[in-house]
Amino acid sequence: MRYKVKDWTWVYDNGANIPKSENWPGVWVEPARQAREHLAAAGRAHLDLAYGDAERERFDLFLPNAKPQGLVVFVHGGFWMNLDKSFWSHLSAGPLGHNYAFAVPSYTLAPQARIAEITRAIGKAVSAAAERVEGPIRLIGHSAGGHLVTRMISATTPLAPAISNRIEKTVSISGIHDLRPMIRTKRNETLAIDAAEAASESPALLEPLANTRLVCWAGERETSEFLRQNALLANIWIGLGAETEVVIEPDRHHFNVIDGLADPTHPLTQALLD
């Protein structure tokens, strides 16, 4: 079967490919607010912690009832251009249910920051959260966040060995692992990715760190490009010595594929924490 992409913007346009897409990101706002309010009332929320000097270099940290047995860091998507940490607080419920602390950072968005700068910012965020919580680290990111968490476990990671050596597992949900196709999309008017940055910032073009364990997770109803990107990194990195797995969750699209993280018993949460 022949296959050629004629409209790169369209195959990365989730809004055009998901029924009632106008409901997102709004449907996340109230559950996230309620989760923050509940955890803050219980003294288990530390909000707007600084990890850098920039206005958006802040993270929220949510703690379980007992001493954490480790740390989960969730990195949000939005094509490196949109959203912030406030939309995802409710996703802490899954990791908290397994006694893991949950950190979620904001970061400076494009065009104010290039992707390479965002990568370095996430490195600072992971390091700052890791200073507050002992034990193993699990990384999980969605869409552009999937790119960013897999950059943390690439050979050119901005993390110091003392931090990267604590990372036990990474889950990239609908991650963008090869940035070169993004150059052909309309979003690149904002992102300004060039060939050099695509080469240096694409996890699929880099080697994984030693002992990498990676799950690439996507929804069955993703666009063809998100499904391809999901399988791509796992297929390349297994050949470079990493332990990888590809999961396609039935009847999920690019937006609701993250919902399982809010449930301690959901396979997504279990895949992250096993």
Q: What is the pLDDT of residue 78?
A: 96
Share of the chain above pLDDT 90, in %: 91
pLDDT at 121 over 50: yes
Closest CA to 154 of 98, 210, 197: 210
- Weakest mean pLDDT among 7-11, 27-31, 69-73, 196-200: 7-11
pTM: 0.96
Q: Using an 8 Å Cβ cutoff, are 249 and 219 in contact? A: yes
Q: Using an 8 Å Cβ cutoff, are 149 and 125 in contact? A: no
Q: pLDDT tens digits for 44-68?
A: 999 999 999 999 999 999 999 999 9
CATH topology for 8-273 is Rossmann fold (3.40.50)
Show the beta-strand stretches assigned E in the chain.
45-50, 58-62, 70-75, 100-105, 137-142, 167-173, 213-219, 243-249
Q: How confident is the model at residue 13 (pLDDT cuts 50, 70, 90)?
A: confident
- CA–CA distance, 186 with 143 (Å, rounded to integer): 17
Q: pLDDT tens digits for 124-146?
A: 999 999 999 999 999 999 999 99
Beta bridge partners, 49, equal: 59
Q: What residue segments make up the domains of the chain, in order of their start?
A: 8-273
